[in-house]
Amino acid sequence: MNDQVPLFRMEGISKRYGGVRALESADIEIYPGRVHAILGENGAGKSTLIKVMSGVVPPDEGRMLLDGQDVTFADPAAANAAGIVCIFQELSLIPELSVADNIVISNPPKRFGMIDRAAQRRIAEEALAGAGGDDIHPSTLIKDLPLSRRQIVEIAKALARKPRVLILDEATSALTASDVQTVFGVIKRLRSQGVALLYISHRMHEITELADDCTVFRNGRKIATYKAGSKTDDEVVEMMIGREYHHVFPPKPEPKASATAPVLEVRNLSWTPRLSNVSLTAQAGEVVGLGGLDGQGQRELLLALFGVLRGTSGEILIDGQPARINSPLAAKSDRIGMALIPEDRKTEGLMLPMSVRDNLSFAALNRFSRGGIIDGGAERSAIDDVIKLLAIKTDGTAVPAGSLSGGNQQKVVIAKWLMRKPRIILLNDPTRGIDVGTKQELYQLLRRLADEGAAIILYSTDYDELIGCCDKVLVMYDGAVTRTLTGAEITERALIGSALNIGGGGTGSETPAVA
């Protein structure tokens, strides 16, 4: 499909973890000066593929060729030395070291055997400029930078290694929209300089914009490689999930006027400087979306509602009655009945080494206990019910939660809160890094919960989700709600327009022009 010689080539690569086949005789060819996108659901084998490529794990079978020569990598350092550099989804920056230290970490410039700090500074500044992070001071400690800036540093770090093959694994997931454009610029420049790029993303429009070649993976196998633009989105999605792709979102009910006080009402909630005067209402049965660019205070709003933030001002009313929520313990009490599906399921949602059973009942233990003693029978039957309800795929309830797939882990996080039958459900980007199939199930579930009378607040970085799921979307900008969209107003155009805060914000219903 290409006249050029592939720079890097994998043949028949297989990798097993225990009894599970993560990758099965995968082939791929990567050419200089081209962006090669890898598509696939979670669990399709993408991460394993790049882990093998970048020397994090050794393959069980198959061979890798660089410039036509057989290569093996003992560790990431060896892959780096060969010019293969990966920007991992889980960041590889060291929090206590400075930006400059991190950029040169694998191969610091030396003088008389010591690290040459002046040279290091030069390299760092150059790399930062190349990655669009001129505003980042090289002496800043990584731990003092926000997530999106760290991602830029991560890219700068990769650039400083002068890669021949650059792998970007969900490299834009933590970025703000303007940073995404910067990164795209960097990618295009590298392509024109002859770097081979491997691009992994769940965001279709990014792939459409960048990719030259695409390869689809499913269940650890390569399904197809094709020239970008030669397939329609529907065809691609079909290859990814291996079945027909239709009706992603359940239908929304007609909005009905409610006579009772809203389940949740927030008045002028502030948490300087991240939240200012946020007001919102959520009726029973309503799915309220939080939109806007990433990092505009949506996460803080959810945490503030759940009693995690200290020093908030403003009022929260539950069923029209003022309520004081100063801890998750208070938030989950029966009077308030709130649940939060947190941002990071691995560190905030689950105790990965603990069993599925322990995780599921953890937030609801007081429901199955008397005087602090747990009633094992009641616990078991409630767990069985919820596993069935959410169709959680698990090999019994005694296996560690960490052994489940990402989508099933997220289901466990949601299920553990459903065991409390919450009336107010806060979700912080619940579908991030989850496969298409599970996403669909979650959309159905959200609507069903709303129909059963729950008030749902959904923050999502995916505009399609907000459009498909929500009855109402509050667009946030710089800690404040700049616009409220309801019903048919919720369009991608309106969401993006108000997210960029074009047209002076306000809550008017006319769609502002998008530049």
Distance CA 484, CA 474 (A): 5
Q: Residues 371-400 vs other proteins: string with x where CB under 8 A? A: -xxx-x----------------xxx---x-
Tell me the torsion sign for CA atoms 233, 238, 239, 241: positive
Describe the strand order of the beta sheet including 69-71 as a list of residue ranges: 20-30, 8-17, 61-66, 69-71
Least distance (Å) from other proteins to the CB of residue 354? 5
Residues 257-286 that bind other proteins (CB under 8 A): 271
User: 374 or 502, CB closer to other proteins?
Assistant: 374
Least distance (Å) from other proteins to the CB of residue 455? 18
Of the ranges 314-322, 356-364, 450-458, 502-510, which one interacts with other proteins (CB under 8 A)? 356-364
Distance CA 311, CA 274 (A): 12
Least distance (Å) from other proteins to the CB of residue 85? 10
Q: CA nearest 354: which of 413, 420, 278?
A: 413
Of the ranges 114-122, 170-178, 277-285, 451-459, which one interacts with other proteins (CB under 8 A)? 114-122
Rule CB under 8 A: say whether 479 interacts with other proteins.
Answer: no
Least distance (Å) from other proteins to the CB of residue 278? 16
Q: Are 35 and 191 in contact (CB under 8 A)?
A: yes
Least distance (Å) from other proteins to the CB of residue 179? 21
Beta bridge partners of 216: 39, 224
Residues 25-84 that bind other proteins (CB under 8 A): 42-48, 56-57, 75-77, 80
Least distance (Å) from other proteins to the CB of residue 345? 9
Least distance (Å) from other proteins to the CB of residue 195? 19
For helices 436-451 and 233-241, the axis angle rounded to 10 degrees is 90
Of the ranges 185-193, 307-315, 485-493, 507-515, which one interacts with other proteins (CB under 8 A)? 307-315
Residues 406-445 that bind other proteins (CB under 8 A): 406-407, 409, 416, 433
Count of residues binding other proteins (CB under 8 A)?
A: 94
DSSP 190-234: HHHTT-EEEEE-S-HHHHHHH-SEEEEEETTEEEEEEETTSS-HH
Of the ranges 62-70, 205-213, 287-295, 359-367, which one interacts with other proteins (CB under 8 A)? 359-367
Distance CA 453, CA 487 (A): 19
Residues 122-161 that bind other proteins (CB under 8 A): 137, 139-141, 157
Least distance (Å) from other proteins to the CB of residue 294? 17
Rule CB under 8 A: say whether 329 interacts with other proteins.
Answer: yes
Beta bridge partners of 475: 291, 483
User: 357 or 472, CB closer to other proteins?
Assistant: 357
Least distance (Å) from other proteins to the CB of residue 97? 6
DSSP 92-148: ---TTSBHHHHHTTTS--EETTEE-HHHHHHHHHHHHHHTT-TTS-TTSBGGGS-HH
Rule CB under 8 A: say whether 12 interacts with other proteins.
Answer: no
Is residue 470 packed enough to be buried (19+ CB in 10 Å), middle (13-18) or exposed (0-12)?
buried
Cβ atoms within 10 A of the Cβ of 463, count? 20
Rule CB under 8 A: say whether 292 interacts with other proteins.
Answer: no
In this chain, which of 9, 25, 32, 105 binds other proteins, going by CB under 8 A? 105
Least distance (Å) from other proteins to the CB of residue 409? 7
Q: Are 301 and 288 in contact (CB under 8 A)?
A: no
In this chain, which of 12, 27, 115, 194 binds other proteins, going by CB under 8 A? 115
Rule CB under 8 A: say whether 251 interacts with other proteins.
Answer: no
User: 412 or 481, CB closer to other proteins?
Assistant: 412
Using left for φ > 0, alpha for ψ between -120 and 50, and beta otherwise, residue 5 falls in beta
Q: Are 161 and 80 in contact (CB under 8 A)?
A: yes
Least distance (Å) from other proteins to the CB of residue 338? 9
User: Tokens 């990798």 belong to which residue?
Assistant: 15
Q: Which two tokens stand for residue 373?
A: 């003693």
First to last CA, the chain: 37
User: 228 or 378, CB closer to other proteins?
Assistant: 378
Q: Which two tokens stand for residue 121?
A: 């500074």
Q: Residues 332-351 vs other proteins: string with x where CB under 8 A? A: x-------x-x---xxxxxx
Least distance (Å) from other proteins to the CB of residue 15? 9
Residues 162-201 that bind other proteins (CB under 8 A): none
Q: CA nearest 288: which of 511, 504, 444, 460?
A: 460
User: 97 or 514, CB closer to other proteins?
Assistant: 97
In this chain, which of 71, 97, 317, 382 binds other proteins, going by CB under 8 A? 97
In this chain, which of 306, 459, 463, 477 binds other proteins, going by CB under 8 A? 306
